[in-house]
Amino acid sequence: MTENHSKTYEEAQEIFQQIKLKFLELSKLDLSNLHVHNDWSLIPHVQDHLSFLIDQISGLSESLKDSPPPETSSEVKSIKDSFSESIP
C-alpha cells in the first residue's frame, strides 16, 4: 500500500535521516578524548549522548504522522472507542 505524504512530512523525514547519518558518522570517530562538562551533564561520555540522540531521532522519524494530533479529549476518546470496537 502506497501512502501519499505531504511535502513537509517528506522534508522532515529527509532531515531526520540526514541528522541520524551525521550522528552515526560522528560516533565512528575516536571520541575517547572528548567529554561533556559536568555543568551540563552528569554523563561524561560523548558516545553515550550520541547513542541517546540517535535513538531519539529514530523514534521521532518512526512515530511521525502526516496529520495533526487530536485536539480535544473527546476526539481522543472517540479514537480510542473506535479502536476498541474494532477488536474482536
Each domain of the chain, given as residue ranges in start order, spans 7-86
Tens-digit pLDDT profile for residues 51-81: 999 999 999 999 888 877 666 677 777 777 7
pLDDT of residue 16: 95
Higher model confidence: residue 34 or residue 2? 34
User: Average model confidence (pLDDT) for the chain?
Assistant: 85
Q: How many angstroms separate the CA atoms of 11 and 52, rounded?
A: 23
pLDDT of residue 65: 86
pLDDT of residue 87: 64
